[in-house]
């Protein structure tokens, strides 16, 4: 029986992906433990701390061992950690060489290193999917570079923009996340081998060299000092996921609102039955966006948990470490889900350009009040132009008239803007798109690391 959305046959592919589950499965985690133990043996053999043949036997056993998971589970519950029970099985599988398994290490060395190895594999997936989302957003920004629509502030129409501009704003955040990920790797991908209190006393003067070779064997960075209780690297990893899903949540929110019947400017891809209602046949709910937003909100809570978990006591903590066991894998599952849904949703996004254009006319010209004000300002002065146009807007709102018609009845505006033709020109929202196109081009020319 399953108990959470992450292992539920019904929900697991809505809140994660098979690929990410494989990264954080029990089998993969135990495999990382074994990988770390074998790397430690190889590193120590290179320095003649343990015999070469012992390291070879341990390495071979780590690859061929058949784990008794029921025994491992039972003993983990007793010990509180899985490494001692696993070392028992590995040592037995290695035969005579088993006496050298886990030489000078402590449980957290192996568990932390395994976690980092998992994170490395998971971040490869995240980076790949971020770049895929980037490519889709770049296509949208390019295609709709000059497609006018209403820009909105405080949920009210503000000024005209283009849909390509909106997509480019989304894209710019994704670019920064790709850069953040690359820049964070040296801080996150640190090996851990420091011994019981982090001093490497169990190895003696060769400790730092063993640590260096251990990290080299695993392709990880050697830390300058133990990080048993300095958890900023792992907290940064989850915080990065919080930033990524935060951006995806913003995109999803925009799409959901723009999909509302009253807006009708975009629709999620049509798949028969997707987003259907059990009672309302007409419904086409934005399911992908809803899942993205849910993931973003859940990851945000894990970010807070990881930050809380940074507060460890003395040289080994009495509980905060365990929080990571919950928050790290769940954050990656949720991020994978959000990225997968974003790729699906954005790739097939239906853009209703005619509805965007129609919505620009909902306010009968009010959306370009700033354009009229700024055009009249050189003649009337900025404040007086504001007051005149403000009064015209009030009349349009209260009387329901068209702003251009009301302005045409204002002699000083007529004179300032060059008559009715000038007023019509300035009241056309497609003539007040600012530098939307140029900004889109700037974003498209940028290339993340």
Q: Which domains does the chain have, with CATH numbers?
A: 18-23+107-141+164-352 (1.20.200.10), 361-436 (1.10.40.30)
Cα Dmax for the chain: 102
Whether pTM exceeds 0.75: yes
Task: Return the pLDDT at 97.
Answer: 96
Distance CA 441, CA 172 (A): 11
List, run by run, the mean pLDDT of 10-residue segments along the chain (449 residues): 82 90 96 98 97 97 96 95 96 96 96 98 98 97 97 92 98 97 97 94 94 98 96 97 98 96 91 60 79 97 95 88 94 97 96 95 85 84 86 83 82 81 85 94 88
Token pair 């934005």 is found at 286
* Beta strands 148-153; 156-162: pairing state: antiparallel
* Beta strands 148-153; 350-351: pairing state: unpaired
Q: Which residues pair with 152 in a beta bridge?
A: 157
Rg (CA), the chain: 30
Task: Return the pLDDT at 283.
Answer: 57
Distance CA 108, CA 61 (A): 21
Q: Which of 244, 250, 248, 269 is nearest to 342 (CA)?
A: 248
Q: Which residues pair with 350 in a beta bridge?
A: 267
Q: List, by residue number, the catalytic residues.
A: 154, 277
Classified as helix, coil or strand, 438 is helix
Q: Which residues pair with 190 in a beta bridge?
A: 221
Task: Return the pLDDT at 274.
Answer: 65
Q: Which of 182, 188, 185 is nearest to 233 (CA)?
A: 188
Task: Return the pLDDT at 281.
Answer: 53
Classified as helix, coil or strand, 160 is strand
Distance CA 164, CA 441 (A): 10
């Amino acid at each position: 029986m399953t108990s959470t959305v992450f292992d539920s046959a019904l929900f697991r592919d809505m809140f994660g992906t098979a690929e990410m589950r494989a990264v954080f499965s029990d089998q993969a985690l135990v495999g990382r433990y074994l990988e770390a133990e074998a790397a430690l043996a190889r590193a120590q053999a290179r320095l003649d701390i343990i015999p070469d043949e012992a390291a070879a036997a341990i390495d071979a056993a780590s690859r061929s061992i058949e784990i008794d998971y029921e025994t491992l589970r039972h003993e983990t519950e007793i010990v509180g950690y899985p490494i001692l029970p696993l070392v028992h099985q590995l040592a037995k599988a290695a035969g005579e060489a088993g006496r050298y398994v886990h030489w000078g290490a402590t449980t957290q060395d192996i568990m932390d290193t395994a976690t980092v190895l998992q994170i490395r594999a998971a971040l490869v997936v995240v980076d790949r999917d971020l770049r895929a989302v980037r490519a889709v957003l770049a296509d949208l920004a390019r295609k709709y570079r000059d497609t006018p629509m209403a820009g909105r502030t405080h949920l009210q129409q503000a000024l005209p923009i283009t849909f390509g501009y909106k997509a480019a704003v989304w894209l710019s955040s994704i670019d920064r996340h790709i850069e953040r990920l690359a820049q964070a790797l040296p801080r996150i991908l640190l090996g851990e081998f420091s011994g019981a209190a982090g001093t490497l006393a169990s190895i003696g003067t060769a400790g730092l060299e063993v640590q260096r070779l251990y990290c080299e064997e695993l392709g990880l960075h050697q830390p300058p000092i133990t990080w048993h209780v300095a958890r900023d690297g792992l907290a940064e990893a989850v915080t990065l996921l919080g930033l990524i899903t935060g951006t995806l949540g913003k995109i999803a929110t925009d799409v959901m609102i723009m999909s509302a019947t009253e807006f009708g400017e975009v629709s999620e891809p049509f798949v028969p039955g997707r987003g259907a209602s059990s009672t309302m046949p007409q419904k086409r709910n934005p399911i992908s966006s809803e899942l993205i937003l849910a993931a973003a909100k859940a990851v945000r809570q894990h970010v807070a948990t990881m930050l809380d978990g940074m507060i460890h006591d003395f040289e080994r903590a009495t509980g905060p470490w365990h929080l990571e066991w919950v928050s790290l894998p769940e954050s990656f599952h949720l991020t994978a889900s959000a990225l997968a849904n974003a790729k699906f949703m954005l790739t097939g996004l239906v853009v209703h350009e005619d509805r965007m254009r129609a919505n620009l006319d909902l306010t009968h010209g009010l959306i370009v009040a700033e354009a009229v004000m700024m055009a009249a300002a050189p003649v009337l002065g900025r404040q007086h132009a504001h007051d005149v146009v403000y009064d015209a807007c009030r009349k349009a709102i209260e009387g329901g008239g068209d702003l251009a018609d009301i302005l045409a009845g204002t002699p000083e505006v007529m004179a300032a803007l060059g008559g009715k033709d000038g007023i019509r020109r300035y009241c056309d929202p497609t003539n007040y798109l600012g530098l939307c196109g140029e900004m889109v081009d700037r974003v498209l020319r940028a290339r993340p690391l």
